[in-house]
Amino acid sequence: MDETLLMLPGPTKVAPRVLKAMSDNIVNHRSAIFGEIYTETTELMSEIFKTENKSYLLTGSGTAAMEAALSSIITPGDKILNVVGGKFGQRFQQITNMHKAESKELTIEWGDSVTPNQIKEALDEDEEIKAITLVHNETSTGVSAPIKEIGKIMDNYDALYIVDTVSSLGGDRVDVDKYGIDICVTGSQKCLAAPPGLAAITLTDDAWKVVDSVDSTSYYLDMKKYRKSGAGTPPETPYTPSVSLIYAIFEALKIIKEEGLDNRITRHETAAKATRNAVKALGLELFPKEEVSSTTVTAVKMPEGVTDPQLRGTMRNEYKVELAGGQDHLKGNIFRIGHMGNITYKELAITFSALGMTLKKLGFDIDPGVGVSAISNSYI
C-alpha cells in the first residue's frame, strides 16, 4: 500500500471506514434496498449543502456536475456570465461555449477574488444574462469568493446563481438556501473525503423552472431524468450508478455528521491559518492576497532559484509528502498545499517538517524547524 501523505486539493485521504464500506456486496440498483441507501445518501447530501431541496448524485467527477448544471439550463444562444479567475472558472466558461451559449466573461486576476459590486455591474450592463457561474473556492489559485455577499446581490436579479463548491463543501461555509444559490455542485474527493468518482448537485424550484423550459443539450447529464428517477418507487438513478462509491460517500457523509459540520469547518479554518503562518515562517510568500485566501488549499509562490521538480520532487521522493503544482501559466511558479478533508495538525506537522528539510537541502539558509513550530503555535 502506498503510504505517501496526500496534501492535495483532491483527491484527499479517505478514512478506513469509508474504504471498508466500498467492499460491501453490490445490490441491485433497481431494488428497494438500494433505493433506501440512495435516499438516505442524498438526504445527507442536502443537509451538507444546507438546503431543503433534493440533491442528486452523478457518476462522474466534479466536472460532470458542472456540465449537468449548464447543459440542463442552456438553450443555444443564451447569455451566461462566467466569472473567470482561474482554471475552474475557465472550465465553466468552456462548458458554456461547448453547449453553444454566449459566454460573457468577468475577468478576475488570478490570485484575486471577484467582488459583489463587480457582479452587480456586470448584471446591470446586460439584462439578458440567464445565469452566472461562480467558483466558490478557486482551487487553482487558492482564492475564496464571497458567495454569501454575492448571493445578496443575486436576490435582485432573475439570473440563476450557479456555484461550484467542489473544493469547499464540507470544509468552508456553504449555505445553499440562505445564500440563494440556485444550482450548487460538488465532488466526492475533496473536502467530503470520499474517493474520486461521484458528483452531487442540487437545484431550487426557480432553477427547475428553467430546466423544464429547455431541451437539455446532454443525454447522460439531463437533470430532468435524475429528478424523474429519483422520485420513483424505489428512488433510482436513470442509469446504473457506481453502487460502491455511493456506499463510500454515504459513510463519508456520516462521518461529517458525527464530527459536526461547524466543527469541521472550524478545523479547516484552523488548518488554513496554521498553513499560512508556517509558509510565512519559512520565508515563503503566499500567492493570493491573504484576505481572499482559501480555507481548504494554500497556494505558495515557488521560491527564487528553485524548480518545481526540485521542490515537489524532494517532498515526494525523500519525505513521501505529495503537494500539488501550479496549472497553466502558474505551472512552475506556484505550488499548492491541500488541507481539506481529514487534515489535522498531525499531517501539517509532517508536511512542514518535510518542507523545512527540503528547503534546507536545496540550499536555503533557514532553520528547517520554523515551519513546524509555527504549526504548533497555531494549534495551542
Ligand X SMILES: *Cc1c(COP(=O)(O)O)cnc(C)c1O
Nearer to ligand X, 61 or 229 (CB): 61
Q: How far is CA 39 from CA 31, 46, 54, 174, 246, in A?
A: 12, 11, 10, 22, 11
Residue type, 17: R
The three cell numbers locating residue 195:
474517493
Closest residue to ligand X in the complex (CB): 62
Is the Cβ of residue 166 or residue 281 nearer to ligand X in the bound state? 166
Q: Which is nearer to ligand X, 88 or 226 (CB)?
A: 88
What's the closest the beta carbon of residue 169 comes to ligand X, in angstroms? 10
Grid coordinates representing 23 are: 467492499
In the bound complex, what is the minimum distance in angstroms from residue 82's beta carbon to ligand X?
13
Closer residue to ligand X, CB minimum distance, 39 or 94: 94
State the nearest-atom distance from the C-beta of 363 to ligand X, in Å.
33
Residues lying near ligand X in the complex (CB under 6 A): 9-10, 61-63, 88, 135, 137, 139, 164, 166-167, 187
Rounded to whole angstroms, what are the CA distances from 138 to 113, 124, 312? 9, 25, 21
Q: How far is the CB of 105 from ligand X (least distance, A)?
A: 17
Backbone angles phi, psi at 160, to 5 degrees: -70, 145
Give burial (CB, 10 Å; 0-12/13-18/19+) of 159: buried
Report d(CA 167, CA 271) in Å as an integer.
Answer: 15
In the complex, minimum distance from the CB of residue 184 to ligand X, in angstroms, rounded to a whole number: 12
| Residue 73 vs 184, nearer CB to ligand X | 184
Are 56 and 230 in contact by the 8 Å Cβ rule? The answer is yes
Tell the smallest beta-carbon distance from residue 264 to ligand X (Å). Answer: 18
Q: Which is nearer to ligand X, 164 or 347 (CB)?
A: 164
